[in-house]
Chains A and B, each alone.
Chain A
Amino acid sequence: MGVAGDARASAATGRNIEAGPWRSILARRLLPYALIAPAMLVILGVLAYPLGMLLWLSTQRYGLRELIQHQGEFIGLQNFETFRVDPQFRYVVTVSIIFTIVNVGVSMLLSTGIALLLERVSRPIRVLLSAGLVLVWATPSIPAIDLWQWMFDYEFGVVNWLLTRIGVGNYIHHNWFENPIQGFTVITVIVVWGAIPFLTLMLYAGLTQVPRELVEAAEIDGARPWQVFARVSVPILRPVFLVLFSLSTIWDFGVFNQVWVLLNQRPNENYFLISVYSFQESFRVSQYGLGSAAAVVMVAILVVVTFAYVRQTVRLTEEAV
């Protein structure tokens, strides 16, 4: 059992083996399991079990009556059947997917740009820029949403004043949330602003690992800067890009706080991203079964994206160990 993999550990203790009775060998075999047991218990109990229950709930009618009785009514796949014909749910999924694509795209694009910029600026500016990014990264999301809400306030918001001042149009007393496209633009600004520091610093860290000689060789061969980037840096950074794409997709597809807090906990139907819809169905309309089914759809879509990420990470870990 695990003898080959145990090589390193037993190398460390090898000289004790002849001294130790069989009891200690057994103990050594069980020790790793004993060590992971408590963490395992918490993760399984608090994450895996609810995840299973979520699947189960999605097959139930679970309204207020069932909530009081603590007992749902099994209705098979009827909740999903409801979604299939429900135009609202179709809107929710479409908007969520578009929102995710736009947000991931804009965040990755800007972050790549800033990472490349970080390479090219002089040292003091680089220090200043990295420090600024870290400060933004450190700002917790709820206070950040509150401050953006203030900046986009329709009456005294600094953004409206600025846009009017630089001549984009008359934004005095402009309500950003009347038109969902504008509202989602504000949400995108908040999400992207929050995502840029992490993505940029990761990409910059990756860029610094691109071997200098490769870049120089390409330059000597007459490659333009963008060619160097596309043909040398990007292929080397592929694993980093993959991880960042997956993480961003997971985060942006699950956006909830930005919508909920920004719209003072009362978003109208136009703003229902899938997590907001699932929450609304469950805790506002008390249709926990339907809400769970929406959450299951969300997890199912994410599993596909996540799969690539998990495989990549596990493969790299196995190589490292």
Chain B
Amino acid sequence: MRRRVASRTFFDTLGLLVVVVMLFPIYWMVSTALKPGKEILSLTPVWFPSHVTFDNFRGAMNAPFFWNDVVNSLTVVLSVVAISIALAFLAAVSVARFGFRGRTAFIVMVIAVQMVPLNALVIPVYLLLDRVGQVDSLPGVIAYYLAIVLPFMIWTLRGFVANVPVDLEEAAMVDGASRVGAFLRIVFPLVAPGLVATGIFGFIQAWNEYIIAYVLLSSSSKQTLTIWLASFTTQHGTDWGGLMAGATLTALPVVFFFLLVQRHVAGGLTAGAVKG
């Protein structure tokens, strides 16, 4: 008995240690952002800001192109989310509700395409968009992001649609609803959480993307936030307080949305892997 208590205490201590090691970097980012410059550039680390200041955040928000790039990021992300949800939902219904020739091939394509590294495709995409004069424009980036998020969204939504029993629809039709009516009244509300979850997933992916935006959007006025963060580093060095404040600001919306949906995201990525 005593041995069991001792091992419990040992594991708990180890667990706490893991928490501290994993979370310290995030704490350090936020606390640096809240420190006055003197405490940031100190040879002995200042573990807790002596007085919290929002100067770094103010500086980041007043930095050139911040609001401009917030608008760019939002434009890209919201377009991607709106279009991709519609397209992914239609495809998911098709895969989950109908058997048709080529269905397996479509599923294989959806899974396989997620495995193509984006870094490999950035070269032809750049040359293609260059040919049609769409380099340094948001629509090119939006189209590309759509293709990035669609496979995963189709995949996740397929699970949500398949989980709605066909019997429910049938029951509605027995009660006199048309097929479309049954679908809109029964399936759609049940799948709505899935739509929200995948929509937020698309939001996060598009918000975080770096390499495509980096290559395709060359002028400062067209850039997205992830690219904007590099502007804190100049030949004279890095403005760490500003960079940490900018990083915190960039991370905030994603962290917020992520916490809302993480359950669904985890389930979708390895759907069925455990059940097998």
Contacts and interface: CB of A to CB of B under 8 A. Distances in A.
B226 interface: yes
B229 A143 contact: yes
A163 B112 CA distance: 43
Interface in B118-176: 118-128, 130-131, 143-144, 146-147, 150-151, 154, 162, 166, 169-170, 173
Contacts of A234: none
A19 to B, nearest CB: 12
Interface residues of B, number: 108
By secondary structure, the A interface counts as helix
Interface stretch (B50-58, B64-72, B88-96, B189-197): B88-96
Highest count of chain B CB atoms <10 Å: which of A132, A140, A172, A291: A140
A202 B270 contact: yes
A112 interface: no
Given A9-B98, A150-B32, A250-B117, A202 B22 contact: no
A254 interface: yes
Given A45-B143, A53-B128, A316-B275, 5 more contacts: A2-B101, A39-B91, A42-B143, A50-B125, A310-B111
A257 B125 CA distance: 18
Contact of A138 (B88, B107, B108, B258): B258
Contact of B113 (A35, A48, A288): A48
B1 interface: no
A265 B150 CA distance: 29
Interface in A1-32: 1-2, 4-9, 11-13, 15-16, 29, 31-32
A299 B79 CA distance: 29
A133 interface: yes
B184 interface: no
B87 interface: yes
B262 interface: yes
A283 interface: yes
24 contacts: A1-B101, A6-B100, A11-B166, A31-B98, A32-B94, A33-B102, A129-B15, A129-B19, A135-B26, A138-B262, A142-B208, A142-B226, A143-B229, A144-B251, A146-B229, A150-B32, A260-B211, A275-B120, A295-B123, A296-B120, A306-B115, A310-B108, A312-B276, A317-B271
A166 interface: no
B40 to A, nearest CB: 7
Interface string B192-211: 00000000000010011011
A313 interface: yes
Given A146-B243, A151-B25, A250 B115 contact: yes
Contact of B179 (A16, A32, A243, A320): A16
Contacts of B14: 117, 121
B97 interface: yes
B22 A193 contact: yes
B247 A143 contact: yes
Interface residues of A, number: 121
A134 B248 contact: no
Contacts of A279: 119, 122, 211
Contacts of A135: 23, 26, 255, 259
Given A202-B266, A306-B112, A141 B143 contact: no
A148 B123 contact: no
A92 interface: no
Given A35-B90, A36-B90, A283-B215, A320 B272 contact: yes
Contact of B119 (A8, A147, A275): A275
B20 to A, nearest CB: 9
B169 A12 contact: yes
B219 interface: no
B6 interface: no
Contact of B247 (A45, A146, A256, A264): A146
A247 B22 CA distance: 22
Contacts of A47: 113, 116, 121, 147
B123 A282 contact: yes
A309 interface: yes
